[in-house]
Amino acid sequence: MALFKNTSSNLEGIKENPFKLEREIQRLFENNLPLIMGLELVKSEFSIKNKRIDTLGFDTQTNAFVIIEYKKDKNSSVVDQGFTYLNLMLQNKADFVLEYNEGLKKSILRGDVDWSQTRVAFVSPGFTENQREATNFKDIAIELWEVKQFENGIVSINQIKKSNAAESIKDITGKAKDLVELTREIKVYTEDDHLNSSKTRPEWVNELYFTLKERILNLGDVELKPNGKYISFRNNSPFVDVIFYNSGLYTIINMKAGTLDDPGKLMKTFDGKGHWGNGDYFVTIDKKTDLDYVMFLINQSFNKHE
């Protein structure tokens, strides 16, 4: 990706300033983990069973651990290493929970963690075509993140997206015992999981979702990210979450109570109660709901999280 500086309509090229050490990339991510990936930093250089994990993070949206590994060079199989780390975590759950509680001074239980949404992220200035293809499965819990550093302190960070035609990793695991067990416990949720989550849900609910989804995506650079509980729409960070019910779409807007301009008084607030999703405002959208007004509310959250 070429970067330019616009000076009075004349473009000046911005030169890349390559990272010299993996540690530079690691320090950049760990110092900005909530901003870049929306994660809590649990531990840097976490050692377990004679293996060392570069960065251990925790995703509070999914209640799941995330292992992050940094690669300065394009010379390793990320799939093999990714599966190794996933197996390592699933076989030593108590150690990860203990590290979380000691490092962050909290007291979660092993049962509080959604181990099915465990994932591994590899961060590198670049990945080979083989590495991209090897992780291009819709249900593989391995992510690739590209990071580049340029002059004048400019940094670009891009998560490599899986193609819409990505197949299932289960189709190629065959009878390999370790992979069968791993893919049975790890679950990478997709939009289809939510669309097909109920056999009794009226078809109009899914149709309403597609209408709402199209309007949300048209707001700009929006990423759709499903997890086990809901579908999150992100613009740098989540700005609206959608949960499917037979009665409609339970919609959560990521704004703090008292900050949303809602003259129609459509939204309700959680009043400090625990809940899924991000933000203090929620409403169930059905066939009678004015979507134009809903989009007026969602747009406020979108602009806030740019």
Quickly tell me which residue has 């949404």 as its tokens. 117
Q: Residues 168, 31: one domain?
A: yes
Say if residue 251 is in the same domain as residue 296: yes
Q: Residue 131's domain is classified under what CATH number?
A: 3.40.1350.10
Please state the domain count of the chain. 2
Look at residue 133 in the predicted model and tell me its pLDDT: 84
Tokens linked to 169: 């990793």
Residue type, 241: D
Residue 9, pLDDT score: 83
Residues 29 and 153 in one domain: yes
Both 20 and 168 in one domain: the answer is yes
**How far apart (Å, rounded) are the C-alpha atoms in residues 210 and 231?**
12
Final residue before a domain boundary, out of 161, 185, 209: 185
- Give me the domain span that covers residue 154: 3-185
Q: Are residues 52 and 156 in the same domain?
A: yes
Task: State which of 168, 185, 202 marks the end of a domain.
Answer: 185
Residues with pLDDT less than 50, the chain? 175-176
If asked whether residues 148 and 214 sit together in one domain, one would say no
Q: Which residues partner with 137 through β-bridges? A: 167
Q: Do residues 56 and 43 touch, judged by C-beta distance below 8 A?
A: yes
Q: In this structure, are 215 and 300 located in the same domain?
A: yes
Q: DSSP letter string over 254-269?
A: ---TT-S--TT---EE
| CB contact set of 112 (below 8 Å; sequence gap of 6+) | 63
Per-residue model confidence (pLDDT) at position 138: 72
- Residues 206 and 294 placed together within one structural domain of the fold: yes
The domain boundary residue, chosen from 154, 185, 216: 185
Give the whole-angstrom CA distance, residue 86 versus residue 66. Answer: 9
Q: pTM to 2 decimals? A: 0.79
**Do 95 and 138 belong together in one domain?**
yes
What's the token pair of residue 119? Answer: 């994932």
Q: Which two tokens stand for residue 194?
A: 């939510």
Question: What per-residue confidence (pLDDT) applies to 98?
Answer: 95
Residue with tokens 């197996």: 87
What's the pLDDT score for residue 175?
46
Do 79 and 156 fall within a single domain?
Answer: yes
**Residues 173, 221: one domain?**
no
Structure tokens at 291: 């979507």
* Same-domain pairing of 214 and 156: no
DSSP characters for 137-161?
BTT--EEEEEEEEBGGG-EEEEEPP
